[in-house]
Amino acid sequence: MTDTKPVLEARGIVKIFGQHRALDTVDFTANAGEVHALLGENGAGKSTLIKILTGAYQPEAGELLLDGQPIHLRDPLHGQTYGIGTVYQEVNLLPNRSVSENLFLGRQPTRFGMVDHKRIDALARDLLSRYGLDVDVRAELSEYSVAVQQIVAIARAVELSGKVLVLDEPTASLDRNEVQRLFDVVRGLKAKGLAIIFITHFLDQVFELADRVTILRNGRKVATQALDTLNTTDVVRMMLGKDVAFDHHPTALTGGPKGAVRVAFKGLSRKGLSPFDLAVHEGEVVGVAGLLGSGRTEVARLMFGVDPSDGGQITVDGQPVSIRNPAQAVAAGFGFCPEDRKLDGIFGDLSVRENIIIALQAKLGWLKALNRDDQVELAGRYAEALDIRAADHDMPVKLLSGGNQQKVILARWLAIDPSFLILDEPTRGIDVGAHAEIVRTINRLREEGLALFVISSELDEVVAYSNRIVVMRDREMVAELDGDAIASDAIVQAIAGTATEARP
């Protein structure tokens, strides 16, 4: 912070996709030795700006200056040669190569024309030790946690470039300790004089780590300000353009009359998961709390038939059903928004419209094709209802932002007129605005009589929409909180194993 020399400057950047102005005369400056946070809602233009700064996109207008000199970036590789490196949310390294290979890929030291593995490994160990990382560099990258992979990616990016480091949602899939570890690394790099551009949707992290913040909204820059002059409400107001405080406290959720039992699971079990009983009522949200690896995703997969059960019964509206695969689950009126949107959720190359109607089409069978008018109508109706922001519904869904993609998947399940909806981390990797919308949608669906089973690692969020909360620990449902018992503290205690077990 002592050094405020601008390193990377963008002036008057304009980027147009089709009819849509993704960025409209945006200025941005990253100084040496600062962490500059970039904030904005879905579709505000954050990733577009980043892609321009790193060379992945070329702007229609405006210029980039590096150390005061204008530069023209052809592609990210070219950006790298100027010292601009990027680490994305989804680490894009090679998971099945060793840590050291990932660090030095493309510039391996060679000996007699052969890759010198010994030297690479030594260099890699040395490099990572500077990041406080002591791992077996010969092991495959995929064997390590996302946090370690993230640090490896940072180390690689810094090695390759070393002037500007762009961190695109680096903490999205990290736990608290890992986040701190990552922040230590970032602070170290900042002290070395790197300009760090930090994109996240965790406001508390912004305040913890960043020096300045630039806020984008609808492709325009709202403000660039030092963070010590701001508070959270200011930032949210600037991002959303209205006073939307995220409501953490449930109102009148508890104690209301429950509807009839919609789905009941009795003694459902699978190897590695304790058998469980659970009934979800009409108009009820059962929230699931638990740490990663507590078995919460496994329960969801079991319910939906992704993994077949070893035993137990499932009834829907009192009728026994057999669910051995997702197709049967869909036939029974179940819907499932999986945790990994990109891998298990969206069909990237298919259109928004097709992504919305696909589950209904699968349920109807291949012979009963929804014609184009039906598809357009359905997609239009649910896109409208969930406020999916897409230029048109024939564009590939992969071009939408994460939040909009999540809404598309939600729309897909609403389209089958579901009786029971399973949501696994529905708000992960989504910015504040869309986050709030999805929480509102969950509440609305509950009010309209749907039975929901929602997994989230954000306690405040679970508390905000759940009628009941199931706590999982060590692949077992260890507690069930109902009514007044629902509170963050109680959940934390249950997760930690200090509360009296509420379930038999």
Partner 1 sequence: MTRPTVDLRPTGQPPLPRPRPLAQFFTRPQVIALAAVLLVNWALFPGFFTITWQDGRFFGSLIDVLNRGAPVAILAIGMTMVIATKGVDLSVGAVMAISGAVAATLVTNGVSAPIAVLAALGAGLLCGLWNGILVTLLDIQPIIATLVLMVAGRGLAQLITEGTIVTFSDPVLIFIGTGSFLGLPMPVVIAALLMIAATLIVRRTALGLLIEAVGVNRSAARFAGLRAGTLLLIVYTFAGFCAAIAGLIVAGDIRGADANNAGLWLELDAILAVVIGGTSLMGGRFSIPMAVLGALIIQSMNTGILISGFSPEFNLVVKSAVIIVILVLQSPLSARLFRRLPGAQK
Nearer of residues 361 and 456 to partner 1, judged by Cβ? 361
Beta carbon nearer to partner 1, 104 or 304:
304
Strand-pair partners of 199: 38, 168
One-letter amino acid at 475 equals: R
Q: Does 382 bind partner 1 (CB under 8 A)?
A: yes
Closer Cβ to partner 1, 291 or 362, answer by number:
362
| Smaller CB separation from partner 1, 74 or 111 | 74
458 near partner 1 (CB under 8 A): no
Helix (H) or strand (E) holding 322: none
CA atoms within 13 A on the CB side of 168: 20
Chain centroid to CA 135: 27
Asked if 365 touches partner 1 (CB under 8 A), the answer is: yes
Give the one residue of 400, 450, 470, 471 binding partner 1; rule: CB under 8 A.
450
Determine if 344 is a binding residue for partner 1 (CB under 8 A).
yes
- Asked if 354 interacts with partner 1 (CB under 8 A), we say yes
User: What pairs with residue 226 in β-bridges?
Assistant: 212
**Candidates 54-62, 186-194, 231-239, 347-355; binding stretch for partner 1 (CB under 8 A):** 347-355
Closer of 115 and 364 to partner 1 (Cβ): 364
Q: Which is nearer to partner 1, 355 or 466 (CB)?
A: 355
Which has the closest alpha carbon to 284: 484, 486, 467?
467
User: Is the CB of 139 or the CB of 369 nearer to partner 1?
Assistant: 369
267-326: contacts with partner 1 (CB under 8 A):
282, 304, 306, 317, 325-326
Tokens of 382: 């649910």
| 61 lies in the binding site for partner 1 (CB under 8 A) | no
Which strand (E) or helix (H) includes residue 11? strand 6-17
Least distance from partner 1 to the Cβ atom of residue 325, Å: 8
Nearer to partner 1, 203 or 395 (CB): 395
Range in contact with partner 1 (rule: CB under 8 A) among 139-147, 269-277, 339-347, 493-501: 339-347
DSSP character at residue 483:
G
Q: Which of 106, 176, 368, 489 binds partner 1 (CB under 8 A)?
A: 368
For 37, the 3-state DSSP assignment is strand
**Least Å distance between CB 386 and partner 1?**
7
Stretch that binds partner 1, among 73-81, 263-271, 426-434, 439-447 (CB under 8 A): 439-447
**Binding of partner 1 by 94 (CB under 8 A):** no
For the chain, the maximum distance between any two Cα atoms, rounded to a whole number of angstroms, is 77
Which phi and psi angles does 480 have, rounded to 5°?
-130, 125
Residues 6+ apart with CB under 8 A from 332: 314, 316, 321, 323, 419, 420
480 lines the binding site for partner 1 (CB under 8 A): no
CB of 484 to partner 1, least distance (A): 27
E strand or H helix at 47 = helix 46-54
For residue 96, the minimal CB distance to partner 1 (Å) is 15
Here's the x/- map for partner 1, 97-116, by CB under 8 A: it reads as: --------------------
Q: And the tokens for 442?
A: 């969950």
Contact status: 444 vs partner 1 (CB under 8 A): yes
- Answer yes or no whether residue 404 interacts with partner 1 by CB under 8 A: no
Of positions 217, 393, 428, 435, contacts partner 1 by CB under 8 A: 393
Contacts 24+ apart (CB under 8 A), 439-447: 439/464, 439/465, 441/386, 441/407, 441/410, 442/285, 443/285, 445/414, 445/421, 446/283, 446/284, 446/285, 447/283
Rule CB under 8 A: is residue 383 a binding residue for partner 1?
yes
Cα separations in angstroms, 354 against 349, 371, 378, 402: 10, 11, 10, 17
Q: What does the H/E/C string look like for 53-99?
A: HHCCCCCCEEEEEECCEEECCCCHHHHHHCCEEEECCCCCCCCCCEH
Is residue 388 a contact point for partner 1 (CB under 8 A)? no
Alpha-carbon distance of 129 to 271, in angstroms, equals 39
For partner 1, give the closer residue by CB, 295 or 335. 335
Which one of residues 134, 228, 243, 349 is an interface residue with partner 1 (CB under 8 A)?
349
327 interacts with partner 1 by CB under 8 A: yes
DSSP code for 112: T
6 binds partner 1 (CB under 8 A): no
How many Cβ atoms from other residues are within 10 Å of residue 282's Cβ? 18
Q: Which is nearer to partner 1, 30 or 436 (CB)?
A: 436
Cross-strand pairs, 261: 281
Identified binder of partner 1 from the candidate list 80, 150, 401, 419, rule CB under 8 A: 419
Neighbours of 503 (CB within 10 A): 15
Please identify, using beta-carbon distances, which residue of 83 and 333 lies nearer to partner 1.
Answer: 333
Return residues touching partner 1 (CB under 8 A): 282, 304, 306, 317, 325-327, 329-331, 333, 336, 338, 343-350, 354, 358-359, 361-370, 372-373, 376-377, 380-386, 392-394, 412, 414, 417-419, 441, 444-445, 448-450
